[in-house]
Amino acid sequence: MKTILSLFLAMSGFLGCVHQGTGVHSARVEPEFASIRKAVLGVGDVIEVRIFDEPELSGSRQIGADGSIRMPLIGFLPMTGRTSEEAAHLIALEYQKKYLRDPDVSVLIQQSNSRKVYLLGEVKSPGPYVYEENMTLIGAIAKAGGTTAQSASNRACVTRSDAGKSIRFTAKVSDMGRGEAPDIPILPGDIIFVPQSIF
């Protein structure tokens, strides 16, 4: 119910975004918009743990219902609520206690099953999509099959919630596709609305 209400409120905001015909150009807002918050890990997410020069300890792990993953030698470690950088730091600390000297650990989110992005409006397959690491606006729209022939893709609207606040801006998707504007990083929970052309 909460998700449905959020989408309804977002749709109301999109109408204002479309009719006003205003919004900050994506090239100007990208650094600020992308740094609002980082994706955190949740139950069901699949991560890849890479430990330099330790292939036996590296590999893909899925975060279990208890919010943890099981690592060789050190056992279960809590992952939910952490960023990939924080998860890597925790794993490195645990291995450093007994087994490795200054381990070089990195964590990549392979599949964020706990987080989704929402594609609405004039895309070929609207709906929720699983967030992937380093997802961009163009990549998210591609997952939905691209825009329709009736779309006004240069007036796409992206909404992101952070600390109870809603941040919304217009993105020029057509220009991005032609390389005339920079692509924009997408985060879990983002809502992307592509309006219909009025012509």
Q: Where are the domains of the chain?
A: 2-38+115-194, 46-111
The CATH number corresponding to 2-38+115-194 among 3.90.1310.10, 1.20.1090.10, 3.10.560.10, 3.30.460.80 equals 3.10.560.10
Q: Mean of the per-residue pLDDT values for the chain? A: 83
Integer Cα distance of 157 and 147 in angstroms: 13
* Residue 133, pLDDT score: 77
Buried b or exposed e, range 78-117, using 16+ CB within 10 angstroms: ebbebebeebbebbbebbeeeebeebebbbebebbebbbb
CA 132 to chain centre: 6
Could you tell me the fold of the domain covering 46-111? wza like fold (3.30.1950)
pLDDT in tens, 55-65: 999 999 999 98
Mean pLDDT value of segment 93-102? 96
What distance separates the 2 farthest-apart alpha carbons in the chain? Answer: 67
